[in-house]
Structure 1
Amino acid sequence: MLGQLVLAAVAANLAIAQTYPPDDVDILVKKSLSKLKEYLSKYPQGNCTLENAIRRKEWGDLTKQERKAYTDAVLCLQSKPALTSAEAPGAKSRFDDYVVVHIQQTPRNHASTFFLPWHRYYIWHYENALRTECGYKGYQPYWNWARYANDPVNSPVFNGDEYSMSGDGSYVPHEGITFPSMPVESRVLPPGGGGGCVTTGPFKNMTVNIGPLLPSLSGLPRNPQADGLGWNPRCLRRDVNKHAAALTTTNYTYDLITNNNHVYWFQTVMEGQFDEGKLGVHAGGHYTISGDPGGDFYVSPGDPMFWLHHSQIDRLWWIWQMQDLETRLSQVSMTKTMYNNPPSENGTLDDVSNLGVLAGDVKVRDLMSTMGGMGGRLCYIYE
């Protein structure tokens, strides 16, 4: 009887999320929620309140069962037939549909007005697909890079157990990543300890179907189509990179939120100032995952870790907005094309974003707030 009780206690402990000490950004969130509460008291957002808002949680704060429920739902989405196969022969699943949309819209939705609001829409739609098509009861988790930046490969995100997002790739000799537009002294990001196929965790048997287009690894099989949308089956590869992770620590995220008073600078610093040798936390997170397709600017949603990474991007924007809600919930900047190439006019709140065949047009203004945006369909905060 005593032995059974001990086993039951061990099983119960396995279900409990690990406790992590709050960092400066976590503390800032606690302080900022009072600003959000005050704002909502002055400007109610329909039926969306702090009491009924969805809580998106950090991966390490989920129980092991909650983590597995999430990865099971992603695997489910990967098992369902694609909706985009007519325009993208390489798309074999509903999961691939989201990769197709990202490839098609990358030149519009990066380094432009649409970067932050479009990705908010994109993540929400993916979260909704996991829930409505695969029976997932939870919500989209995020990856707080700073928690694990010193040793990402041994974190609950990448440790390769059944409750992780799968591990690093097996080691194969490979070169670092070169950024031609950066100064010579900071042009090369040293390689990590992986580079090969992922062999552990829930996605160890995953097939990557689309791309590459702009790979960070050499020697990958070329896609049969120039647009990267042809069928090109291969293993999921990663190169979990502590050098990139070092660019996502709390000092970077806290400074990003507190030292940039206009969305132009917030987004510019976040996405990276490559001519100054600064990758930014956006690129830092992507290249912490790296590999194929995680290190491919266009095809990166093909690694399931993308969705946790970009939820953290959305979280930082949400925190930044809370510092001055009356101004920042309506503040947009930049032009309508990536790095204004080709030249385009400045974007506005009345411009629209869509998800191709997956979802129709939504105005930028309806994506600015997580509390009541899109006619109340957006109603969430981050814990």
Structure 2
Amino acid sequence: MARLFSVALLAAAVQWMLFAGLVSGDAVQDLQKKVRPNLDAAIAKSKTCTKEKLQIRKEWGDIPAAEKKQYIAAMLCMMSKPSKMDQKKYPGVKSRYDDFVAVHINQTMNIHGTGSFLSWHRYYTWAFENVLRTECGYTGTQPYWDWAKWSADPEKSPIFDGSDTSLSGNGKKISHKASMYGPAGNGGGCVETGPFKNMTVHLGPISPAVDPAPPRNPRSDGYGDNPRCLRRDISNYLSSRYLRTQDIVTLLNSKDLNTFQNVMQGAGGAGGAGMGVHSAGHFTIAGDPGADFYTSPNDPAFWLHHGMIDRTWSIWQMQDLNARVNIISGGTSMMGGFGGKQQSLDDNVDLGVVADKVYKIRDLVSTVDGPFCYTYDS
């Protein structure tokens, strides 16, 4: 009890100091280090994970250039491998990479604003990492995007600077209108720099939030073949407001899972503004397909964004692993719509052709149990 009290006091003190401008260090990483002993205790109790097996996920800016290039090469490899889906049912699914996009499209309304949002995306991101390794020879771990580190100017981050060790840069600057999420940025057109400048997007759009609108898909479900370029409209409008260290600390101070999920996804959001870190990350990238929450995995930066989503959840959990792991909150359909029932830890998570096994949510709530054995650098 004393340890939990001290962790809570630390988080509250850090939050106050950040808002007061008294500290400038990485308060999120400081908190992660503080609660690391709790994770070590969980590893000691795990039936599947050991300290020797534990894999460490790192921030993109901290990864050596050779490993960045290997990660990029593995993604390009996935984009060149044939799909495992039925081509008659899914004619727009052209590659192994597209398989992941199609799975996300198919389950979108049951994995956002639901009790499975965090666990589903944890398994989904891990499955992507696993395919990179087993099918494309990647030997590293899934990187993440530390939002706060680059919140003042994401375009100049090593993720989006357009170099050969980036995930490509902004889109070409074109004339376009503001979106409902903020003013038009300095891009909007096709990505013309970096490793993914020649990438072809095939699926969607389904719910585009971009100007000019992408061409309509030949099928209403978005599974038709609709070849076009990768577009982005990266700016700091949202990142400098909702992806700062103090925004993440506020999220980590959530007292219960329901609050944590709602603030993360924007129900209340940072400062009550209705923009959580989840949406702010996606719409900082923006463009097509990044601003379409059905097809957003089609932007290569999706995986780093959701790596950070998972890191943030894991730090929140580590503050009290006994009370914050085997719990569930929320329904089974987006924001409780369509008459969905309450989510259960015994509900299944089935990723189809992108994963080998169907798990129950209760098997996916710890990064050091079930199929998982990883943590984040601290």
Contact 2:262 2:268 in 1 (8 A): no
d(CA) in 1 for partners of 2:354 and 2:200?
Answer: 22
Partner of 1:156: 158
Partner of 2:238: 244
Cα displacement (A) at 1:288? 0.9
Contact 2:128 2:354 in 1 (8 A): no
Correspondence for 1:339 among 335, 339, 348 = 335
Name the aligned partner's letter for residue 162 of structure 2: G
| Distance of aligned partners of 1:362 and 1:225 in 2 relative to their CA distance in 1, 3 Å threshold | same
1:99-110 to structure 2, matched below 5 A, reads 99-110=101-112
Partner of 1:81: 82
Partner of 2:9: none
Name the aligned partner's letter for residue 195 of structure 1: G
Name the aligned partner's letter for residue 244 of structure 2: T
d(CA) in 1 for partners of 2:141 and 2:76?
Answer: 15
| Distance of aligned partners of 1:40 and 1:136 in 2 relative to their CA distance in 1, 3 Å threshold | closer
Partner of 2:67: 66
Partner of 2:219: 225
d(CA) in 2 for partners of 1:295 and 1:51?
Answer: 39
Cα displacement (A) at 1:87? 2.5
1:10-31: CA deviation from partner (whole Å, max 9, x where unpaired)? xxxxxxxxxxx95110111111
Partner of 1:139: 141
Correspondence for 1:295 among 287, 291, 300 = 291
d(CA) in 1 for partners of 2:188 and 2:336?
Answer: 33
Name the aligned partner's letter for residue 78 of structure 2: L
**Which secondary structure state, in structure 2, belongs to the residue aligned with residue 71 of structure 1?**
helix
* Pair 1:190-2:171 in alignment: no
Name the aligned partner's letter for residue 244 of structure 1: L
d(CA) in 2 for partners of 1:317 and 1:127?
Answer: 18
Give the aligned length: 348
* Pair 1:211-2:214 in alignment: no
Correspondence for 1:28 among 28, 31, 36 = 31
Task: Return the TM-score normalized by structure 1.
Answer: 0.88
d(CA) in 1 for partners of 2:343 and 2:278?
Answer: 21
Cα displacement (A) at 1:38? 3.0
Task: Return the TM-score normalized by structure 2.
Answer: 0.89
Q: Aligned residues: percent identity?
A: 48
Name the aligned partner's letter for residue 37 of structure 1: D
Partner of 1:202: 195
d(CA) in 1 for partners of 2:158 and 2:88?
Answer: 38
d(CA) in 1 for partners of 2:238 and 2:178?
Answer: 11
Partner of 1:55: 56
d(CA) in 1 for partners of 2:169 and 2:248?
Answer: 25
d(CA) in 2 for partners of 1:274 and 1:98?
Answer: 30
1:136-171: CA deviation from partner (whole Å, max 9, x where unpaired)? 011110000110110110110100000011000010
* Pair 1:254-2:249 in alignment: yes
**Which secondary structure state, in structure 1, belongs to the residue aligned with residue 237 of structure 2?**
helix
d(CA) in 2 for partners of 1:40 and 1:158?
Answer: 35
Partner of 1:366: 363
* Pair 1:114-2:116 in alignment: yes
d(CA) in 1 for partners of 2:136 and 2:258?
Answer: 38
1:241-294: CA deviation from partner (whole Å, max 9, x where unpaired)? 211212111110111012x11111100000002795321000000011110101
d(CA) in 2 for partners of 1:284 and 1:148?
Answer: 13
**Which secondary structure state, in structure 1, belongs to the residue aligned with residue 375 of structure 2?**
strand
**Which secondary structure state, in structure 2, belongs to the residue aligned with residue 243 of structure 1?**
coil
Cα displacement (A) at 1:190? 1.3
d(CA) in 2 for partners of 1:117 and 1:49?
Answer: 21
Partner of 1:38: 41
Partner of 1:166: 168
d(CA) in 2 for partners of 1:271 and 1:45?
Answer: 30
Name the aligned partner's letter for residue 321 of structure 2: L
Cα displacement (A) at 1:62? 0.1
d(CA) in 2 for partners of 1:169 and 1:223?
Answer: 21
CA RMSD across the alignment: 1.4
1:29-76: CA deviation from partner (whole Å, max 9, x where unpaired)? 1111012223444xx112412343010110000011111110010000
Partner of 1:7: none
**Which secondary structure state, in structure 2, belongs to the residue aligned with residue 268 of structure 1?**
helix
d(CA) in 1 for partners of 2:79 and 2:25?
Answer: 34
Cα displacement (A) at 1:358? 3.0
Structure 2: unaligned runs, 5 residues or longer: 1-23
**Which secondary structure state, in structure 2, belongs to the residue aligned with residue 309 of structure 1?**
helix
Cα displacement (A) at 1:356? 2.5
Structure 1: unaligned runs, 5 residues or longer: 1-20, 179-187
Cα displacement (A) at 1:86? 3.5
Cα displacement (A) at 1:99? 0.4
**Which secondary structure state, in structure 1, belongs to the residue aligned with residue 354 of structure 2?**
coil
